[in-house]
Structure 1
């Protein structure tokens, strides 16, 4: 009696990487709650059930959005915030990849530096603000240093874990075929650790955007979306505050969607090369 051929591990991983089909109705279900929230917001603001100074009507927020966009103030603030985020993200990610790879590959280095890093990552990110502000001031350099720290930790942790958890069977095959240490790392360890490494980079991208807003709140010098929110709060312009929150959420959603799209495409590419 013949048995159906079993899928190889690589084929199974490639099949698992394919996204599940989503129906047309499923794509729109995510809009139900936001639309309902906007309708409730409109009803409350126009029915006089809440203080209009605290909950401005949607049309006033829309007018503020048009003013901010047409006047160019939004683009200046958004450009400054994104420039800081991507600079800090790039520095933190590069440093995290190097440090994580060193911790994952070298047992000696892990024993020397691992305990210190484990202590370092337990320190709250915002606890570094006083020290950073003294060292770098309140300008862009301080903000980029803060964002680099935000991106560093998840990349180091996931890179180290991905490399150190390479299946021993793969390493044994590489040893049998006489691979050098560099060949083993490049052709065996790195592909096996790629999902974990990408997860770390994905988290770093999200954390760096969240930290961008926090840095602009606490290190207030300069221009940015966080400064836009502070301006609205100080002048009690709730329409400006709500618009700023909408911008922050939209950029966060776009960042998340872009990272997920890149992850799916890399998974498909990896599946085709297996």
Structure 2
């Protein structure tokens, strides 16, 4: 990579059809792989929860990497949706599906006129023993929450609460959340209205994200959890951050589908 090159970037609001809502992600289109240091520097400059970097491999196959302002992550839903949005709607590529080569394997993404469908890994939540809740080293028992159950879900921990209002009204203490040895802490509860099956919020201060607006990767496990609890394979979820966002979910034997809308917020060029 040399100086005086210009690479296109887009900022896309994912999992929303409304302006100033959903989860914004930056998407940068590169010509080839470049250094991790440069990628991390660009992500820090955007200072969004995720910045996606894409470069073409062959046919409809693309390399995709995701960075928070402080580190690379293995899986990110909203920045993947944003990446497919850019390829299909900004670059106007005619492929009906895109194959993204990532740290989590090859992800298949399909788009239509209004929505984009992500086929993501299925993550089975594992129930923790009640003893774990009372270990001071876990730090979970220091949170001001009435916890129904705790689950390990891949790199994250899920805290199940009884009521939606507890999720909405929770005032996070990020110093306490950062002591929990996990990528992210998810709080979730059943939806109180018939238009959604469950709600959630996501905190990842250890990864430079105090609260993520709409977290696609978290729903790889949340969908499985609530599918079993509610006895249904198609679900509708809302993440109750300030920006809010809606995800339609499908639970299948080998994967979870995440379906959402998206909007371009801005476009420009990186001047290197």
* TM-score, normalisation: structure 2: 0.26
Q: Using CA pairs under 8 Å that are at least 6 residues apart, name the structure with larger relative contact order, 1 or 2.
A: 1
Structure with greater proportional helix content: 1
Structure with greater proportional strand content: 2
Which one has the largest radius of gyration? 1
